[in-house]
Amino acid sequence: MSLALYRKYRPSVFADVIGQEHVTVPLSNALESGRTHHAYLFSGPRGCGKTSSARIMARSLNCVNGPTPNPCGECQSCKDLVANGPGSLDVIELDAATHGLVDDARDLRDKAFFAPVQSRYKIYIIDEAHQLGPGAANALLKVVEEPPPHVIFIFATTEPDKLIATIRSRTHHYPFRLVPPGILAAHLEKICNLEGVSVAKGVIPLVVRASGGSVRDALSVLGQLLAGAGKDGVSYEIAIQLLGFTDGALLDDAIDAIAAHDGATLFKTIDRVIESGHDPRRFTSDMLERIRDLMIVDALKDSASNAILRDIPDDQMERMRNQANRIGTANLSRAADIAAEGLTQMRGATAPRLMLELICGRILLPIGDNGESGMLSRIERLERAENIAPMSSAAVSSPARTAEPKETTGSAHATGEINSSKVEEAPTPVKEKESAPAHVPGNFDIAALRRAWPDVIEDVKKRRRLTWSLLSASAQVLAVDDKAITIGIVNAGARDSFVRSESDEILRKAFVDVVGIDRKIECVVDPSIDTNTPAARETRTSEAPTDKTLLTGAALLAQELGAKIIESK
Ligand SMILES: [Zn+2]
């Protein structure tokens, strides 16, 4: 392959420019009717055909039969100005990025007044026109304001707003756009046919997505794929590897894990993403796109989503329908928010892998804090307040208070009432808990610590969000003794971040504050943890301490209540 695809398939007439009909049709009409102008401005994103169109415009203007939208292709000018041709003395291309100097502009101004060598018009194509310095722009302005009849300017720029207004106002402005995926895909398929290389289903959409709507980028990527094609053409796997794209299987694994609230698998998948050399940012971006696709599938169901996501193979479509059903509308929307926000934060982040893990951790967090789990955690807070305070008559006489939440079980407002009643009675234990570590030595077994965990996490969140993010979805209490509390974190990456960021000190303080015991924090990797399955939550909340003397009357009642709520599920 000697010639890059984007050069090889560069158009020589407006009819072959793809995806810019809003520009090429009126330009062709102007050429047809002879209503041409002396200065044009072609603006738009890179790689969308601005420079190619400027050359086509020059060719159309200078054809012996011109101005015409259908240059003859036979005359000297047409031959000179064909794509990849030798060029014409009368069509002068300047790159303002390198010709931004005043002297060059003055030179251009002086030469512009000489008649064209052999063509109808002397045409200046000024690329990256926004980079013209003020001096150069002013030197040009004279010619643009009062051009000799044989001079035509075509300015091309990605940033039309930066072109000085006095020049811009004298141009006819044609905004180019990114090429829509369907049109770009059809174009790429045509080129694959012309090149005689077959590509597997799913490859073209990958190229289209990688290009972001730029024809030049798309052809550059496609050229690389075709160059590496085997006897059977370009396979999907090869495309994935060459493009550094997220393997669909990895993406499916991640989404499936989210659907199952399976933190262990999700973080293992991130491990695989990193190990196979994928860019965490790219993976996050792909994950966001997938969530978007799932939202479409979720909203439109069968046929309609087929029409919109028509480049997705049938089996993949089926898998996505399944995923959308399992995750549900509200969770999809929430996951999209989290992923989009995370992607923004990832720009310039020094630890993109950590960010990816945090994003996934947040997505896994149970939605909201209402319902039974919220109720249980509030009851536990009550219980804990009693645990921390020394056994007192207030604690023993608590049935009247705990009866209140029982009556109002299941109502969101009721949980608020419990909360407020807790707040009223809280001051005494809160004040005492500062000195609690000295007074309550080693009274907590692991079940009590696990029940306290959600509130410890809440307390951590107030202290430092990073620590909270590392713990909230992927950690739990493994062991406790006289010296230390051992925390298991689901993967090595999060564990290492935990240690490096000295999050152990944050967590230690949170334990002191919430449950009133002061222990060193040990942190180990425990990939078997799945803290988010309903079963795990249930175990955590219903596990009774082995030593019932630890429980106050209020705690016993609260635990009974919790068990009833679980039963009534
Ligand atoms: Zn011609």
Residue after which a domain boundary falls, among 175, 191, 224: 175
The vertex-210 CA angle with 205 and 213, nearest 5°, equals 85
Q: Is 156 inside any structural domain?
A: yes
Q: Is the pLDDT reported for residue 32 higher than 50?
A: yes
Write out the two tokens for 92: 């002068």
251-263 pLDDT, tens digit each: 888 888 888 778 8
Q: For residue 91, what is the DSSP state? A: E
Question: What CA–CA distance (Å, rounded) separates 54 from 33?
Answer: 19
Pseudo-torsion of CA 51, 55, 56, 59, nearest 10°?
Answer: 170
488-530 pLDDT, tens digit each: 887 888 888 888 888 999 999 988 877 777 889 998 887 654 4
Question: Across all residues in the chain, what is the average pLDDT?
Answer: 76
- How far from the centroid of its chain's Cα atoms is residue 511's Cα? 35
Q: In the structure, what pLDDT confidence band is assigned to residue 62 with cuts at 50, 70 and 90?
A: very high
Question: b vs e for 301-335, b when ≥16 Cβ sit within 10 Å of the residue's Cβ?
Answer: eeeebeeebebbeeebbebbbebbeebeeebbebb
Share of the chain above pLDDT 90, in %: 29
pLDDT at 521: 93
Q: For residue 476, what is the DSSP state? A: E
Q: How far is the CA of 85 from the centre of ligand 1 (A)?
A: 13
Q: In the structure, what pLDDT confidence band is assigned to residue 305 with cuts at 50, 70 and 90?
A: low
Query: Of the ranges 67-71, 304-308, 352-356, 403-407, which is most confident?
Result: 67-71
536's CB contacts (< 8 A; 6+ apart) are: 530
User: CA separation (Å) from 297 to 58, 205, 261?
Assistant: 47, 18, 20
Q: How far is the CA of 75 from the centre of ligand 1 (A)?
A: 4
Question: What CA–CA distance (Å, rounded) separates 100 from 124?
Answer: 14
Q: Is 539 inside any structural domain?
A: no
Q: How far is the CA of 168 from the centre of ligand 1 (A)?
A: 30
411's CB contacts (< 8 A; 6+ apart) are: none
One domain for residues 502 and 380: no
One domain for residues 516 and 483: yes
One domain for residues 358 and 219: no
198-236 pLDDT, tens digit each: 998 888 988 887 777 889 989 998 999 998 888 889 988
One domain for residues 306 and 345: yes
pLDDT at 385: 47
pLDDT higher for 3 or 47? 47
Q: In the structure, what pLDDT confidence band is assigned to residue 50 with cuts at 50, 70 and 90?
A: very high
One domain for residues 481 and 564: no
Q: How far is the CA of 76 from the centre of ligand 1 (A)?
A: 7
Q: How far is the CA of 8 from the centre of ligand 1 (A)?
A: 21
Q: Is 18 inside any structural domain?
A: yes
Residue after which a domain boundary falls, among 364, 390, 425: 364
One domain for residues 504 and 454: yes
Q: How far is the CA of 60 from the centre of ligand 1 (A)?
A: 8
One domain for residues 321 and 470: no
Average pLDDT over residues 272-282: 84
β-partners of residue 523 are 487
pLDDT higher for 367 or 43? 43
Domain CATH number, residue 124 = 3.40.50.300
One domain for residues 64 and 96: yes
531-566 pLDDT, tens digit each: 444 433 433 333 333 333 333 334 444 444 444 444
Pseudo-torsion of CA 391, 512, 424, 386, nearest 10°?
Answer: -20
Q: How far is the CA of 70 from the centre of ligand 1 (A)?
A: 8
491's CB contacts (< 8 A; 6+ apart) are: 267, 268, 270, 271, 357, 474, 525, 527
Of 209-218, 243-252, 414-423, the least confident: 414-423
Q: How far is the CA of 188 from the centre of ligand 1 (A)?
A: 29
Q: How many domains does the chain have?
A: 5
Share of the chain above pLDDT 70, in %: 73
Average pLDDT over residues 315-319: 73
pLDDT at 320: 84
Q: Is 188 inside any structural domain?
A: yes
Q: How far is the CA of 105 from the centre of ligand 1 (A)?
A: 30
Whether pTM > 0.85 for this model: the answer is no
Q: How far is the CA of 245 from the centre of ligand 1 (A)?
A: 45
Backbone phi, psi, residue 230, to 5°: -90, -165
Q: Is 563 inside any structural domain?
A: yes
Q: Is the pLDDT reported for residue 392 higher than 80?
A: no
Q: Is 544 inside any structural domain?
A: no
One domain for residues 267 and 334: yes
pLDDT higher for 435 or 359? 359
Average pLDDT over residues 360-372: 66
Query: Three-state SS string across 327-374, please?
Result: HCHHHHHHHHHHHHHHHHHHCCCCCHHHHHHHHHHHHHCCCCCCHHHH
Question: What CA–CA distance (Å, rounded) separates 28 from 15?
Answer: 9
Domain residues for the domain of 195 are 181-243
Question: What CA–CA distance (Å, rounded) separates 440 from 432?
Answer: 11
One domain for residues 467 and 318: no
pLDDT at 367: 57
Q: How far is the CA of 120 from the centre of ligand 1 (A)?
A: 11
One domain for residues 558 and 513: no
One domain for residues 29 and 157: yes
Q: How far is the CA of 183 from the centre of ligand 1 (A)?
A: 29
Q: Is 540 inside any structural domain?
A: no
Average pLDDT over residues 120-134: 90
pLDDT at 530: 45
Residue after which a domain boundary falls, among 120, 148, 175: 175
pLDDT at 269: 85
Question: What CA–CA distance (Å, rounded) separates 412 from 515?
Answer: 26
Q: Is 545 inside any structural domain?
A: no
Q: Is the pLDDT reported for residue 417 higher than 50?
A: no
Q: How far is the CA of 117 from the centre of ligand 1 (A)?
A: 16
Q: How far is the CA of 74 from the centre of ligand 1 (A)?
A: 5
Q: In the structure, what pLDDT confidence band is assigned to residue 140 with cuts at 50, 70 and 90?
A: confident
Average pLDDT over residues 119-139: 88
Domain CATH number, residue 503 = 3.30.300.180
